[in-house]
Amino acid sequence: MSNVYTAIDKSGSYRVYLAVTTDLVEEARVIHDTSPVATAGLGRVLTGTGLMGLMLKNQSDKLTVIFKGDGPAKQILATAFADGRVKGYIANPYVDLPLNECGKLNVGGSLGIGDLTVIKDLGLREPYVGTIALVDGEIADDLTAYYYISEQQNTAISLGVKIDTDCSVKAAGGMIIQMLPDAEDGAVDALEKMLAELPPVTTLVEDAAKAADGRGNEQILMLMMDRIFGAMPEAYKTEGLEYRELKWECDCSEDRLEQVLMTIGEKELSDIIEEDGQAELVCQFCCKKYHFDKGRLERILASIRQV
Ligand SMILES: [Zn+2]
């Protein structure tokens, strides 16, 4: 299970969303059979998008985050709902690159130069769409820039995925600190000081998991909160709000894939029927295969012709 703990500081200056997503990212790795750098990129995007999804107001609100670049990974996309469901994929799950100059998995290099688009579907007639140029393609700083440029909001975002020697996910997590409209200067100063000394989020997850000794994510998140915010001045210490779940879930169905077939057009569909006599569609999020036999395809074609 993957979880998020949300809290607000006593002065009402900032809100924090802290996540442990080791299980969620490992699940995505197994589904997409990702290389280490692809696991890191997809895992950071899934964690960031999942956290951003929890900020949506209504249960049916939906958020899609798309990182697109000229690098070998091409694209990483994730979708999250306000209720904590999240899914995603990377266009090239087998991307392989040498470590970067800091000795880290080169997620930025895998994406290259490109842009980040955030689509918020809030049930209005038009979704809200914001696009910015990628800062470094390392995901956290790109999302921070998105909030600053597109939503005029100050945030601090950290995301991390640590890969084990067998290529499975050893630790994954993330944190978004969101400054609130009447934030006190003292809170900003205290946060800056804290963030400057903060170890990587995967170190925080690993250390807390060790100390929690099998007592679960709630305990892990409590220990992380203590370590991150424990030394803040009294007025800016945090108080807990909610403990939530982030869950990998794909909502694909035969009906939805049938909708996709209906959009490819009459000519293409009759070509498929003639040449292949069947079609197999793979959900790009969960890799589930859907088989459409000839009779089914002919019924879909007939219904297109009726329109
Ligand atoms: Zn699916």
Q: Are residues 163 and 235 in the same domain?
A: yes
What is the identity of the amino acid at 140? Answer: A
Q: How far is the CA of 88 from the centre of ligand 1 (A)?
A: 10
Q: What is the pLDDT of residue 264?
A: 85
Domain of 284, CATH number, reads 3.90.1280.10
User: Please, which residues have CB less than 5 A from ligand 1, an ion?
Assistant: 250, 252, 283, 285-286, 288
> For 242-272, what is each residue's pLDDT tens digit?
999 999 999 999 998 888 888 888 899 999 9
Say how many Å lie between the CA of residue 194 and the centre of ligand 1. Answer: 40
> Quick one: average pLDDT of 143-165?
97
Give 96 Cα–ligand 1 centroid separation in angstroms: 25
Structural domains of the chain, count: 2
Residue 37 CB contacts under 8 Å (≥ 6 apart), including other chains? 73, 95, 96, 97, 105, 106, 107, 110
In angstroms, what is the span from residue 142 Cα to ligand 1's centroid? 27
Separation of alpha carbons 203 and 21, rounded Å:
13
Residue 196 has pLDDT above 80, yes or no: yes
Looking at residue 125, its pLDDT comes to 87
258 lies in the same domain as 229? no
- Give strand pairing partners of 129: 119
The answer on 149 and 117 residing in a single domain is yes
Residues 16, 36: one domain?
yes
CATH value at residue 163: 3.55.30.10
Structure pTM?
Answer: 0.94
Q: Are residues 227 and 267 in the same domain?
A: no
In tens, the pLDDT along 70-86 reads: 999 999 999 999 999 99
- If you measure from the C-alpha of residue 155 to the centroid of ligand 1, how many angstroms do you get, rounded to a whole number? 32
The tens digit of pLDDT for each residue in 4-25 reads 999 999 999 999 999 999 999 9
Residues 79 and 99 grouped into a single domain: yes
Q: Judge whether 98 and 108 are in contact, CB under 8 Å.
A: no
Interval between CA 257 and ligand 1 midpoint (Å): 9
Distance of CA 89 from the midpoint of ligand 1 (Å): 10
Q: Which two tokens stand for residue 205?
A: 């997850």
3-state helix, strand, coil in the chain (%, to 5): 40, 30, 30
Q: Do 194 and 296 fall into the same domain?
A: no
Ligand 1 centroid – CA 199 distance (Å): 36
Q: Which domain holds residue 219?
A: 2-248
Give burial (CB, 10 Å; 0-12/13-18/19+) of 157: buried
Q: What's the chain's average pLDDT? A: 95
Q: For residue 305, what pLDDT band results from cuts at 50, 70 and 90?
A: confident
Q: Is the same domain home to 145 and 92?
A: yes
Tell how far the Cα of 253 is from the centroid of ligand 1, in angstroms.
Answer: 7
> pLDDT by residue (tens digit) across 117-148?
999 999 888 999 999 999 999 999 999 999 99
Q: What is the pLDDT of residues 35-45, one digit of tens each?
A: 999 999 999 99
pLDDT of residue 60: 86
CA of 107 to the centre of ligand 1 (A): 25
Percent of the chain residues topping a pLDDT of 90: 88
